[in-house]
Amino acid sequence: MMRTARVAGAAGRHLLVVVALTTLALAAGGCAPTEPSGGATSPAATSSTAASSAPPTTAPSTPPTTSLAPTPTAAPTTATPTTVAPTGGRPTQTKPSGTKPTAPAQRIVLRAGDSGPKVRAMQARLRQIGWFAGDVTDYYGSRTTEAVRGFQAKRGFPVTGIADQRTYDRLLSMTRAPTSDELANISPTPVTPGVSSWDVDQRCLTGRVICISKSTRSLTWVIDGAPQYAMDVRFGSEEEPTREGVFAITFKKVDVVSTIYHTAMPYSMFFSGGQAIHYSADFARNGYNGSSHGCVNVRNLTLLKRLYNTAPVGTTVVVHW
């Protein structure tokens, strides 16, 4: 019995040991998953944190890349056509304005140093309207330069002394083709009539008088009843007659252009409103095949210039039949 009891006691102890070991083993198995589970959670959290922080890095990186790419692309694309369009348009508009200087970049007809018959003819034309003095020559020198400068200044042209196309064309429009006498410096012989050869009017016998006769179509410069010289004149038509009576010179001007008819009236001496004694290139060219618009036309420029320089403002003018 005792032996059996001992055996049973030993077995019981053994059983307890086994149970205890099993319990310990179970306990150890229960902790093992907890540790790994706790350790796995930490890396997982770290991994998810890293994952969540990675997208922001990628996300902001992507937007700038996306927004920057279109912006430069759109800007140049828009700017390029805009810039090119005006630039392409402006040169087209610049060409016409660039052509303007070429058009007014006037062609030079004659200039200092030139010589020949064309120079002589131009000098003769300048002399017709009082800009050139003395004999005409074939040489474009200082006298011609000064004459052209004066002619240009009077008309508001650039004062260069060079006969460019604009200057030359205006001169042609204001003058007539020079006669062979003018080109040869042959002056017309002044008419110095005696008392019996001029149309005497009693109003012309006292003092200094410009006596103009419609009957003889002549103008006579008279001093104290003595005729000094005379010149042919032309009058207005029936529609625009030259007024008759006793007048006085009210205004004088060498270079005049009619504001109504736009014709030259060199060496004008106004005596009755807009009516004046003046040189007429048309009268010199066509004679009495025509008429004035009321003025007294003179065709002898040399004598007219002499009278112009002699008769001051206030001189008596008598127009009679």
pLDDT in tens, 152-178: 999 999 999 999 999 999 999 888 888
**Which of 31, 204, 262, 278 does the annotation list as catalytic?**
278
Residue 249 in contact with residue 240, Cβ under 8 Å?
Answer: no
Torsion sign across C-alpha atoms 266, 270, 271, 273: positive
Domain ranges, ordered by start, for the chain: 1-52, 108-183, 195-320
pLDDT at 58: 43
pTM for the structure as a whole: 0.43
Residue 297 in contact with residue 240, Cβ under 8 Å?
Answer: no
Structure tokens at 168: 């030359």
- CATH code for the domain defined by 195-320: 2.40.440.10
Q: How confident is the model at residue 229 (pLDDT cuts 50, 70, 90)?
A: very high
> Does residue 82 have a pLDDT over 80?
no
How do 251-253 and 245-248 pair as beta strands? unpaired
Residue 150 in contact with residue 254, Cβ under 8 Å?
Answer: no
Structure tokens at 171: 């001169």
Between CA 246 and CA 318 the distance in angstroms is: 5
Residue 151 in contact with residue 169, Cβ under 8 Å?
Answer: no
Between CA 202 and CA 211 the distance in angstroms is: 10
Triad 152, 157, 161: Cα angle to 5°: 45
295 is an active site residue: yes
**Which of 204, 211, 295, 320 does the annotation list as catalytic?**
295
> Does residue 298 have a pLDDT over 70?
yes
pLDDT at 30: 44
pLDDT at 18: 54
Which of 78-82, 272-276, 289-293 bottoms out in mean pLDDT, i.e. has the lowest? 78-82
More reliable by pLDDT, 132 or 189: 132
278 is an active site residue: yes
Torsion sign across C-alpha atoms 155, 159, 162, 165: negative
Which of 8-17, 62-71, 148-157, 309-318 bottoms out in mean pLDDT, i.e. has the lowest? 62-71
Helices (H), the chain: 2-68, 70-102, 117-128, 142-154, 165-174, 180-183, 281-286, 301-310
Domain 108-183 has CATH 3.40.50.1820: no
Name the 3-class secondary structure at 272.
strand
Q: Which of 29-33, 84-88, 230-234 has the highest mean pLDDT?
A: 230-234
Which of 17-31, 43-57, 204-218 bottoms out in mean pLDDT, i.e. has the lowest? 43-57
